[in-house]
Amino acid sequence: MLYAILCYNFEDVVGAWSPAEDAAVMARLGAVEAGLAAAERLGATARLLPTTAAVTLRKGREPLVIDGPFAETKEQLLGFYVVDCGDLEAAIAVARDLAAANPDRGAYEIRPLAVYRPGHLTGARARRVHRRRAGA
């Protein structure tokens, strides 16, 4: 089974860290990641830019782009994509395609990444997932 671990914290507080503090935290997390990576258990990891850099595509008959992060608490986080896009317009276009494919309800928050590492998932469990996808 693959698990996603989603990181939540106080953005204000994290944003007020000095570069040295930030680097120290990242180094401590990096040590944990290194152990997982060595065991080929670590998939893609990402650190997001602040919520102020986000826009949200609200699904509907005419999907609406709203400035700012996803703010409602009625819906739950169900998944995410990481897509390489030239600019925000390209990212919004992808979200529009996704919304057209699954138009019912909800929203897509579009947030640029600060850090992205593709990961090292080459173990048996990951291969099983790959095969399943290849067979589909």
Partner 1 sequence: MTIANIDAAWIDAALTAARPQAVAALLRYFRDLDTAEEAFQDACLRALKAWPKNGPPRDPTAWLILVGRNAALDGVRKQSKSSPLPPEELISDLEDAEATLVDRLDGEHYRDDVLRLLFICCHPDLPATQQVAVALRIVSGLSVRQIARAFLVGESAMEQRITRAKARIGAAAVPFGAPDLEERAQRLNTVAAMVYLVFNEGYSAGGKELLTRGALCDEAIRLARLLLRLFPGEPEVMGLTALLLLQHARAPARFDSDGAVVLLEDQDRALWNGRMIAEGLALIDKAVRHRRPGPYLVQAAIAAEHDRAERPEDTNWQRIDLLYGDLEQLAPSPVVTLNRAVAVSKVAGPEAALAMIEPLAPKLSGYFHFFGLRGGLLLQLGRRDEARVAFDQAIALANTAAEAAHIRLHLDRLMKEGAGG
User: With binding defined as CB under 8 A, does residue 62 bind partner 1?
Assistant: no
Q: What span, in angstroms and rounded, lies between the C-alpha atoms of 92 and 55?
A: 9
E-state strands within 1-136: 45-48, 55-58, 64-67, 107-110, 113-117
User: With binding defined as CB under 8 A, does residue 30 bind partner 1?
Assistant: no
Q: At 132, which helix (H) or strand (E)?
A: helix 124-135
User: With binding defined as CB under 8 A, does residue 63 bind partner 1?
Assistant: no
Three-class secondary structure of residue 47 per DSSP: strand
User: With binding defined as CB under 8 A, does residue 106 bind partner 1?
Assistant: no
Radius of gyration of the chain (CA): 17
Task: CB nearer to partner 1: give 2 or 44.
Answer: 44
Among 26, 53, 98, 126, binds partner 1 (CB under 8 A): 53
Q: Shortest distance, CB of residue 89 to partner 1, whole angstroms?
A: 7
User: With binding defined as CB under 8 A, does residue 74 bind partner 1?
Assistant: no
Q: How many residues bind partner 1 (CB under 8 A)?
A: 24
Which of 125, 129, 8 lies closest to 77, judged by CA?
A: 8
User: With binding defined as CB under 8 A, does residue 10 bind partner 1?
Assistant: yes
Encoded amino acid at 95, one letter: A
Q: Where does this chain bind partner 1 (CB under 8 A)?
A: 9-10, 12-13, 15-17, 21, 49-53, 55, 65-68, 87-89, 112, 114-115
